[in-house]
């Protein structure tokens, strides 16, 4: 019952009681002692409505108290609802270390489930919900996927967050930040992003800059770097010692070393190329086949024969087959045997 309506109804009831007593029962007055204290003499009709007034005051206090408690409880639900929305936003963005605290049992259950879940909005999901926060994050995710740059600062996401990485990629592609901006701030940008932009960086950067950020060197970056040696454009002058030192932090398999030799076959001075793989093969067993490939590719048959003669019968079978064919004047491209 609304208090205003209840007050009006009570007022009408009090007036009716007072009128009835005064008109049909008595018009006399009486004085009442209250715990030994005599009260003023009042009309009996007035004394008749006093209990009703006291009941009204008591009921108002009672209703106000429980209404206040109800408002507090409702406020908890409203706050938990907002926290749940925040939990959904963080789940959409893949935020790490989520731990929202709820004060109501039902939202606590839902919130704990959402905090342990990463949500992937459906492609058909549009930013037309009734909640602005949800609409905003849906738009952000969609814009990032479409190559746009958005402001993610207010969401306090870590640099390793996929959306932060993609957003930084979008900034890089749009020229808003350079490769060196990313490489010089290892704590600001994710390492995977730094490694990706380093691949572009080595295409034109001078040797000292390449060596400065060599901690981001990957196989892809190395292959790009090798293609610049003695190239007609963006030429890179690097010694075998510097190249080997640059490669020291990476692990390569046989195919990787052969790919290096293939890339270097286009521009590198033959003597330097042969010497490079001779040095590599002396310390890396995986590089021996690349050394043999290099020797046969350069028609350096004598050192290749020496290696094959001193090997086990089960080793370097393909190269032995190539040598046998070559001895019979059967000329095949060495690339067919790798």
Q: Where are the domains of the chain?
A: 3-112, 120-177
Contact 264, 293 (CB under 8 A): no
User: What is the sign of the dihedral through the CA atoms of 80, 81, 85 and 91?
Assistant: positive
pTM: 0.72
CB-CB neighbours of 121 under 10 Å = 14
Q: Which pair of tokens denotes residue 66?
A: 């429980």
How do the pLDDT tens digits run along the chain, 338 residues long?
A: 577 888 888 889 888 988 888 788 888 777 777 676 776 777 877 878 888 888 888 888 877 777 777 777 778 888 988 988 888 888 888 888 888 888 888 888 888 888 888 777 776 666 777 888 888 988 898 899 889 999 999 988 998 899 999 999 999 999 999 999 999 998 899 999 999 999 999 999 999 999 999 999 999 999 999 999 988 788 898 999 999 999 988 999 999 999 999 999 988 999 999 999 999 999 899 999 999 999 989 988 899 999 998 888 888 889 888 888 887 777 777 777 67
- Give, to the nearest 10 degrees, the angle between helix 132-145 and helix 44-92: 10
Name, in order, each residue with C-beta under 8 angstroms of 333's C-beta and a sequence gap of 6 or more: none
DSSP category for residue 306 = H
pLDDT of residue 116: 84
Alpha helix positions (H), the chain: 3-20, 44-92, 105-115, 132-145, 162-173, 179-183, 191-201, 207-212, 219-226, 240-247, 254-264, 270-283, 288-297, 301-309, 317-327
Give Cα 54 distance to the centre of its chain.
63
């Amino acid at each position: 019952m609304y208090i205003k309506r209840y007050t009006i109804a009570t007022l009408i009831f009090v007036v009716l009681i007072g009128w009835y007593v005064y008109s049909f029962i008595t018009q006399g007055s009486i004085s009442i002692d209250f715990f030994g204290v005599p009260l003023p003499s009042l009309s009996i009709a007035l004394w008749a409505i006093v209990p009703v007034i006291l009941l009204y005051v008591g009921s108002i206090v009672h209703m106000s108290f429980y209404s206040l408690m109800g408002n507090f409880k409702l406020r908890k639900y409203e706050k938990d609802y907002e926290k749940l929305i925040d939990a959904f936003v963080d789940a959409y963005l893949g935020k790490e270390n989520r731990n929202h605290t709820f004060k109501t049992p039902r939202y606590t259950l839902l919130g704990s489930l959402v905090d342990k879940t990463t949500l992937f909005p459906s492609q058909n999901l549009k930013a037309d919900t009734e909640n602005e926060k949800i609409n905003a994050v849906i738009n952000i995710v969609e814009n990032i996927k479409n190559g746009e740059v958005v402001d993610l600062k207010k969401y306090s996401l870590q640099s390793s967050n996929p959306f932060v990485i993609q957003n930084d990629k979008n900034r890089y592609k749009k020229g808003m930040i350079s490769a060196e901006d990313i490489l010089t701030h290892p704590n600001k940008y994710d390492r995977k992003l730094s490694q990706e932009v380093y691949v572009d960086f080595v295409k034109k950067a001078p040797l000292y800059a390449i060596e400065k950020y060599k901690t981001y060197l990957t196989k892809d970056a190395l292959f790009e770097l090798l293609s610049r040696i003695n190239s007609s454009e963006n030429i890179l002058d690097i010694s075998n010692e510097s190249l080997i030192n640059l490669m020291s932090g990476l692990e390569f398999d046989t195919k990787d070393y052969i790919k290096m030799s293939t890339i270097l076959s286009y521009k590198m001075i033959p003597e330097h190329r042969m010497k490079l793989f001779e040095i590599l093969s002396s310390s890396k067993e995986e590089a021996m086949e690349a050394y043999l490939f290099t020797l046969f590719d350069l028609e350096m048959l004598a050192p290749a024969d020496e290696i094959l003669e001193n090997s086990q019968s089960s080793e370097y079978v393909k190269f032995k087959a190539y040598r046998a064919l070559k001895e019979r004047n059967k000329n095949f491209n060495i690339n067919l045997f790798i």
